[in-house]
Structure 1
């Protein structure tokens, strides 16, 4: 995208939604910023998501706080830059079928609300009205968070990249990092660049990048696969009249089945389905049968519907699912990694936090 300059005040490694958000925030605050991406922008974890922005994370109000902050920032960014982010309000529904899940929700609801998350417990019948594909027999109760949006992750990455460049940042794609020297010299196949500050936002490759600087960043990488159903007349079923806080009239909410991890959302005339990937010794066909069985149990209207490959990728995870955002205690090495597939929901806040940490140097 751009030629590699000889030096920079700050060098961001990683051109996904986290890296481009950080580069944008740094550049707009007056920091001479260069971003390096090993492939094309958004080609890593950012390109493997379900494209949903949500503030509610069961049992994790800290992530919810960052997501609420990020949601406001996305709206402000779109308004300020005129960048269409493809936001469509759909809501997020978490289906419980166990008394313990309901008890856990009640126990943490106050903390979620204190974090700014708008979420409430709804009955099984209310859950079915919100998502008519559900079987009421599969629902004990559900958590409903109306402020959730489907979006275009690629548009978000492009928007942050364009804003970063407009503020003076240099973005270099197809430029993998091959070495990091203690003095801040960063090596790539196309040359080297000296940086006063390094920021690791390399997603699934963050641990590898950090290890080049002899830093142990305990980020694990795990694969994910999303599936698409055949076109289904059930995707857009009926109006949501009487639910003023629900999504636009005929769009299904993103729905998570808490026990199995099965999640669905409408994808044009199809349904996007996620439930991890096959276990290490599990044949793919057996996994697809397991997903199909769970899908038909929770959503009888989808019984027998065919599943096809959607897209796959790798996510970066942390030991407890909460992202690492911070600074090495003795070196100008910053990091934002381990988002466990939720980086899209936290990217604006992560960029602001890293910007403020760099400014405090």
Structure 2
């Protein structure tokens, strides 16, 4: 691609699924938009997902509300932006091994229902009907939501990128942004400065230093490396199962072809010890799978906020500065709604959502 157009009205920093959703929604609304991505499109957190889109985020009804809105948008993808997406409904199952987890679910349920989430408490027996791989370890019950689908993150990234370009957005890859100067309305890159009437930071794991350079203090963590594992081929006859989370350990599994895709927190400095912990938890929860070898499926850097809810906000200008970051692994599930909200904040339109819940506040400072 050629260099960026000077003086673009809006510059979006970050070419993952969040930044591309923002660029698409702005360009669709007629806004002159340039997007800058340090690597290739979708090369950060967007490449280290389990390809799951769901609506239920336990204890986090704000993220759930964003996900419900986003799930509606994913279902509408064939008409807008105009791409067929794979969406295979599998459901989402959360296993509770402690009574406190059940009580927390029940306390959270009214807010989840108000957010539009279809989720219910089911018995241990019903949980095993949904996922026959679960062993005999005692369960106190489970949460089950049918609103969970296997999709394709690469297809979503590609669809947003093509639709954004078709709507007039300019996408530039291989262009790391080093700082944001909101006083001058400039985005600083290794290839020179770019002027803008508004700058939007959606840089994922690289957002922390960029928002600070823009004069905004968000309590983002340093970049965290996410790793997903995959198993050897599963035994013949292994049943199809929902995306399943073991609440106490964070072990998350889903079927991918004839293997399992597995996540469990973050590896930390001792990766081998973490993999042993994953193998032990997998064997304890799903005894028939004990002994299956685990291999790295994908890795990627991820951003995070203290309460695992995205920061989406607007600092009026000129030049205006907006941010959408800290998605804490929820980015794929929140991306369509995030793009709509940032567009509406920029255009000073009613977003149909309480964006104050996403803004920085003392409560969210960690």
* Structure-1-length-normalised TM-score: 0.92
| 1:151 positional shift | 1.0
Structure 2 partner of 1:214: 215
C-alpha change, 1:23 and 1:235, in structure 2 (3 Å) is: farther
Cα shift readout 1:192-230 (whole Å, capped 9, x = no counterpart):
321000000000001121123233222112221111000
Q: Distance in 2 between matches of 1:151 and 1:10?
A: 30
| 1:234 positional shift | 5.7
Q: Distance in 1 between matches of 2:201 and 2:22?
A: 10
Unmatched tracts of structure 2, length 5 or more: 350-366
Query: Contact 2:77–2:84 at 8 Å: present in 1 too?
Result: no
Query: Which residues of 2 match residues 1-361 of structure 1 at below 5 A?
Result: 1-181=1-181, 182-220=183-221, 221-233=223-235, 236-237=238-239, 251-280=240-269, 283-328=270-315, 332-360=320-348
Query: Contact 1:12–1:35 at 8 Å: present in 2 too?
Result: yes
Q: Distance in 1 between matches of 2:267 and 2:77?
A: 38
C-alpha change, 1:105 and 1:234, in structure 2 (3 Å) is: farther
Query: Contact 1:4–1:190 at 8 Å: present in 2 too?
Result: no
**Most deviating of 103-112 and 75-84:** 75-84
Q: Distance in 1 between matches of 2:307 and 2:272?
A: 30
Q: Distance in 2 between matches of 1:351 and 1:33?
A: 13
Q: Which runs of 4+ in 1 moved over 6 A?
A: none
| 1:84 positional shift | 2.7
Q: Distance in 1 between matches of 2:254 and 2:117?
A: 21
Q: Distance in 1 between matches of 2:111 and 2:307?
A: 18
What RMSD, in angstroms, separates the aligned Cα atoms of the two structures? 1.6
| 1:177 positional shift | 1.1
| 1:329 positional shift | 5.5
| 1:169 positional shift | 0.5
SS in 2 for 1:77: coil
Q: Distance in 1 between matches of 2:9 and 2:276?
A: 52
Q: Distance in 2 between matches of 1:180 and 1:273?
A: 37
Q: Distance in 1 between matches of 2:315 and 2:36?
A: 20
Q: Distance in 1 between matches of 2:283 and 2:236?
A: 13
Q: How many residues align?
A: 346
